Structure 1
């Protein structure tokens, strides 16, 4: 059964441990991608959809489909239908069929995902970028809300030529990590607003 990204996953230190580069096409080794290029890429990334693999701290693995529509909207559909995570209207809702209660809801601004879902990503803000390194193949940027570092951090892993987001790592306050690896990401796609409507999803979830 899939394990959805809970409030702990999303808030505590949040959307990946860098997986083996063999997962991606062979690429020439390169220097770290400049932050200005990464910010420009994220700001161009208005819509996207693709598959994801989620690796939880206990080693369990879930798969599904991700839908992104900036600003402020993202959706994780788990393949087995047991869970769903929707962000829209400034809120995040975590739907879990194992629960007899309604979805867990909390403000998007309290999760590090809000950094990349912002209307404009500005990596020049003091205190936002806390790490910017390259292993010669990938560039990893660690970010946090400079006003609320207690909300957690998010590590984004990119490849270059052209710049592309490959995965992210959520690390909570206890040091626990949740990895989301992206694959077959298609950008610039047409996505309506319905997939990010939490109220509509609440009405449909238990039908």
Structure 2
């Protein structure tokens, strides 16, 4: 599991309406810039056939939390310029990475401009969704992430992480709830502030 969480950081569909072709990057940028807070359940499909569930919390700009349901119990928290992975099953201390070096920074930037983001290396249409592919240009061996946007209306529905070892992890979002008040403790990089769902 830790490997998969690290893959998300180093590289970071449910019911999707039929899209009318590829959505321009400028439209996707405007959509992301229009988001303030979002909560959504997610299901993660792992390369070994296993799956896990959890809750996503997003507070733009700069903050995001992935909270995995028991028995996993792991959290991935983006805040204060860092991404911190807490794995309660590990005897190791939490792992931390600079947010600006992860693809999560693309959607958490104060002003999203996918057309100018140096991590965006692909923009395509797979028949159902517009796919924005991102990777660290300085470390392509880390892998990549494919963000999938469905419309209409336009929404981020899922992403696929391809790690450097060739494994693939898919995260599918449930219904997005927008505009809720989210407490700052959710994004405490020390790992506290669980939602107590």
TM-score range, shorter chain: 0.7 to 0.9
Q: Does 1:6 align with 2:5?
A: yes
Distance 1:29 1:200 in 2: 38
Q: Does 1:65 align with 2:64?
A: no
Report what 2:67 is aligned to. Answer: 77
Report what 1:157 is aligned to. Answer: 148
Q: Does 1:92 align with 2:91?
A: no
3-state SS, counterpart of residue 184 of structure 1: coil
Structure 2 stretches of 5 or more lacking a match?
none
Using the TM superposition, give the Cα deviation of residue 126 of structure 1 relative to its aligned residue in structure 2, in angstroms: 6.8
Q: Which TM-score applies when normalising by structure 1?
A: 0.82
Match of 1:24 among 9, 15, 18: 15
Deviations 1:60-85 (A, max 9, x none): 10100110111221111111152111
Report what 2:129 is aligned to. Answer: 138
Q: Which TM-score applies when normalising by structure 2?
A: 0.85
Distance 1:159 1:10 in 2: 23
3-state SS, counterpart of residue 176 of structure 2: strand
* Contact 1:112/1:151, CA 8 A, preserved across alignment: no
Alignment length (residue pairs): 192
Using the TM superposition, give the Cα deviation of residue 135 of structure 1 relative to its aligned residue in structure 2, in angstroms: 3.1
Change in CA separation of 1:122 and 1:131 when aligned onto 2, cut-off 3 Å: same
Report what 2:46 is aligned to. Answer: 56
Structure 1 stretches of 5 or more lacking a match?
none
Distance 1:74 1:177 in 2: 22
Deviations 1:41-61 (A, max 9, x none): 111112100100111222210
RMSD: 2.4
Change in CA separation of 1:128 and 1:86 when aligned onto 2, cut-off 3 Å: closer
